[in-house]
Amino acid sequence: MKIGYICPSGKKVSFSQCPCKNPCLPAPVMRALKQAASEEVDKECWRVSEIIGQPTQVILRNKFDYYALPSAEVVMLWGTMIHVLLEKYADGEIAEERKKATFKKWCITGKPDIYIPSQKKLIDYKFTNSFTLKELQKENHPYCLQLNLYRYLFYPEAEQLELVLFMRDASGVGGIRPVESVPVSIMTKKDITSFLTHALENLEVLNLMPVSDLPPCPERWNNKRCLYYCDVKDFCPYIAKQLQGEK
């Protein structure tokens, strides 16, 4: 689990030591990041974000204590700010409520952004870019899977699913709009249960496997995702073998 941050000097510090006298980011930002990372979740449950995530990365995050780069988590903070606003200004909507459900033998937890009972609409907010907007056209995109899992597990009465995308690369008039709303198709019960069963069985197998035998994650972006964006790469057997091959 995440237990702290890596300072610009390379020193690893626990959450209790952040922010220091000379924080790498403004002190309020560091406190917000720390609070977001310290939310307690039932360890017996799989998170929806883990089910749609990169399997080996998920297992390594659960097995090892690790430190993250604060600068790499600033984008996540933008999402946290939206969630704070949702909770503060919700009026009749169910916002940011931690949910728990059982699927077959597994416990699953998740925190949908907002559900509007009067419209039977489930909405998820994302800070993203135009590349992701195009990628949403692909079948079983993680954002679409996430919304469908929230519906199946926590709000089966929902009749509408929607992604609201805050575009980091909005270009103004005639270009990419600052906010894009994208309707998401509802998956069949057969498809969603098949995906859930396969994903959970796979995580269960990997969880019992020796770390040295863990397979590489499916999405590696020619190893760029592993080397520059993975916070548990120091424990990854695939990366260790790649680095060893370079020597």
Q: What are the pLDDT digits (tens) for 14-27?
A: 877 777 777 777 77
Q: What is the pTM of this model?
A: 0.88
Position 207 in a domain = no
Position 37 in a domain = yes
Q: H-type helices in 2-155, by residue range?
A: 27-37, 48-51, 55-63, 74-89, 130-135, 142-154
Of 26 and 157, the structure prediction assigns the larger pLDDT to 157
Position 90 in a domain = yes
Question: pLDDT tens across 86-108, in order?
Answer: 777 777 888 888 999 999 999 99
Position 48 in a domain = no
Position 99 in a domain = yes
Position 109 in a domain = yes
Q: What is the mean pLDDT of the chain?
A: 86
Which residues does residue 2 pair with via DSSP β-bridges, in sequence order? Answer: 66
Domain extent, residue 190, equals 2-41+70-195
| CATH number, position 148 | 3.90.320
Position 182 in a domain = yes
- 121, 162 contact by CB (below 8 A): yes
Q: How many domains does the chain have?
A: 1
- Cis peptide preceding 19, ω within 30 of 0: yes
Position 63 in a domain = no
